Structure 1
Amino acid sequence: MASTFPETAISTERLLLRPFEEEDAPALAGTMDDEAVRCWTPVPHPYTEHHARTWIRTTAPEDRARGRGIAFAVTENLTQRLVGVVRLQQTDWRLRTTEAAFVTSPWARGEGYAPEALLGVAQWLFEDRGFERLELRTAAGNTAAQQVAQKTGCISEGVLRSAGTVRGGEPGDGTDEEVRTDLIVWSLLPEDLEIPAPRTPGRPADDRRATRI
């Protein structure tokens, strides 16, 4: 199989995941300049439209072309607003594994969009691209990201001690000082998304799948 991801779009029940476009720059800048994003990610701060355009025009396309991964603009079907970003990185084409990172726009938090988007990407990876493992790494203090991993169905595998950095450790502390943090490793495998067996007549359905893509 090819060692680069194709440009593609993924549909879920409420979302469309698609390649980034130039017109997404203002919304992307607003998402990435959020205080919580600043705390848990290494993005520049302040994050401007110039940063967003450079990433859309150059960084993201180069990462895909070189086989490193792929970035999706996550948009809401009803409004076409930018819900956030799902990015695949650290891709190993021999082992068919990759790591997912995600960011949710402030206005869209608490709606279950991040697990829905990640599950859609996982189904695409496993069923269409033949991948065998999707990995997430969350900072030990980032409970919101840990909840997303759990809701997606990921399994916690352990802790990488002092393997990452965060800015100050908590949103709102007013500092850009980087401090070291443990990273929790999560994984999702194809068998974790197996379709449940047909239910016995008269018993309630137990179907926890995301919408098929």
Structure 2
Amino acid sequence: MDLQLIPADLRGHGLRLRTWRDDDVHTLLRAVTDPEYQRWNTHAFPVEDEAAAAELLRLRALGWARGEFATYCVTDESGGAVLGQVSLNSLQWPMRCARVGYWTLPEARGRGVAGHALSLITDWAFKEVGLHRIELGHAVGHEVSCRVAERGGYAAEGTLRGAMWEAGRRDTFRDQHLHARLSTD
């Protein structure tokens, strides 16, 4: 099986998943500086201004081009408003395995956006990309993300000790819950 990442719009559940564009920089910056986002996510480098957000967009496009990850901007299908992000990361092509992550903007939370976006990218990853296993990790204590994972068919597999950075830090670690789904589930 020839595995590769070819960007394609994904649609369903009233959502459109598309690649990020340069004109999304303001929305991306608003998202990654949101206190609730920062509570659960820490980037490898600070993203505090438009230049850093633009660099993040550049790296996402580069990741697609290299086949290293697939990062989708989640939008409302009818109006095009950006609602969040869903992505495949840490691709291990020989094992046909990847990790998935997601987040939503404050105005999209509580509407099922993360779960529907997760469903779309999971189906695409198994059927079109040819993956066998997708892992999903979230900080211990992030109950909302845990429910999204479980509703999406991602079985809880355990706790990874010290597997992610503490909120806003790159020198302190916290535990992560691991969920996963197989193409045969």
Fold shared, TM-score > 0.5 on shorter chain: yes
CA–CA separation in structure 1 for the residues paired with 2:120 and 2:48:
28
Taking the aligned partners of 2:66 and 2:173, their CA distance within structure 1 comes to: 30
| Contact 2:156/2:178 (<8 A) preserved | yes
Report the Cα distance in structure 2 between the residues aligned to 1:122 and 1:157, rounded to whole angstroms: 18
Deviations 1:113-143 (A, max 9, x none): 1010011101011111211111101110211
- For residue 164 of structure 1, report the CA deviation from its aligned partner: 1.6
Q: Separation in 2 of the partners of 1:108 and 1:45?
A: 24
Partner of 1:184: 177
Greater C-alpha radius of gyration: 1
The one-letter amino acid of 2:175's match is: D
Aligned partner of 2:15 in structure 1 is 15
Kindly tell me the number of residue pairs found equivalent between the two proteins. 183
- 1:146 alignment counterpart: 146
SS at match of 1:123: helix
Paired residue secondary structure (2:67): coil
Question: Which amino acid letter does the alignment assign opposite residue 164 of structure 1?
Answer: M
Equivalent runs, 1:99-178 vs 2, <5 Å: 99-167=99-167, 176-177=168-169
State the alpha-carbon separation in 2 of the partners of residues 153 and 86 from structure 1: 16
CA distance in 2, matches of 1:46, 1:18: 22
Cα offset, 1:46, TM superposition: 5.8
Offset at 1:108? Answer: 0.2
Report how far residue 2 of structure 1 moved.
4.5
**Residues 38 and 45 in structure 1, CA contact (< 8 A), matched pair in contact too:** no
Which digits, 9 at most, give the CA deviation of each residue in 1:30-55, with x for residues without a partner? 11110011121113556322222222
Q: What residue number does 2:78 align with?
A: 78
Q: Which whole-Å CA distance do the structure 1 matches of 2:26 and 2:52 have between them? A: 10
Provide the identity percentage. 26
Unaligned runs of at least 5 residues, structure 1: 168-175, 193-213
Higher helix share: 2
How far apart are the structure 2 equivalents of 1:72 and 1:2? 22
C-alpha contact (below 8 Å) 2:163/2:174 kept by paired residues:
yes
Task: Name the CA shift for 1:36/1:155 in 2 (closer, same or farther; >3 Å).
Answer: same
TM-score by length of 1: 0.80
